[in-house]
Amino acid sequence: MKFASVRLFGMAASLAALALPAQATTTTTLTFSEIIDAATTLNYSGTAGGNLTVSSTGGKLVIVLGELGVAKLANVDTRLGSGETITFSFAQAVSLSYWDLDDLPFGSNQFGLSVDGGTPASYSLASHGSATPLIGNTFTFSYTGDSYFIDTLKFSSVTAVPEASSTAMVLAGLGVVGFIAGRRRRG
């Protein structure tokens, strides 16, 4: 009798572990180490959010001495400027946890950042992150009165949270197994 109760409880615990898998957080730090390069898009695989595509509007993506910017043929200023954006599109949702953006010491010291096509929020170039997590698949950096380069970005995977109904079903199943085990013990 006792062996059957232990076996049932062990099976229930195994089912609970399958229903609520533990997931490790993966972090990707993007730095732009190429000395000079220009591209329409940049593609990365194996990031925290799976495949990543970096694209721009208003010009080509340009990497100069490890910093990412946008340039038009007629414009030699490769900083992200008026009418230009750089978009980071991930296959899976990620959290943007850190940024290092560089600029000249004058100007508004602000940049725009929108998540998943939302309204761009204004941030300080010196802030290096947001007080609240920025979670999404698409992050678009834009001009807000000051031109800048993107030096470093850090993205982390987002841990899946089980739905309440899944958790309730696991707990109900454990309750039924406990009830049956207790009844077998008495009978």
pLDDT tens digits for range 128-141: 888 888 999 999 99
Claim: this prediction has a pTM higher than 0.75: no
Same domain, 17 and 32: no
Question: What pLDDT does residue 137 have?
Answer: 97
Classify residue 86 by its DSSP letter: E
∠37-134-120 over CA atoms, to 5°? 70
Same domain, 85 and 142: yes
Same domain, 34 and 110: yes
The Cα diameter of the chain in Å comes to 88
Same domain, 14 and 70: no
> CA dist 95 to 46, 117, 132, 160, Å?
16, 15, 10, 12
140: CATH? 2.60.120
* 165 pLDDT more than 80: no
Residue 63: which domain range? 27-157
Same domain, 14 and 73: no
146: closest CA among 101, 88, 103, 85?
103
**Phi then psi dihedrals of residue 50, to 5 deg:** 80, -140
Contact present, 113 and 142 (Cβ < 8 Å): yes
Same domain, 123 and 67: yes
Same domain, 106 and 170: no
Give how many domains the chain has, as a whole number: 2
pLDDT in tens, 75-92: 566 777 777 899 999 999
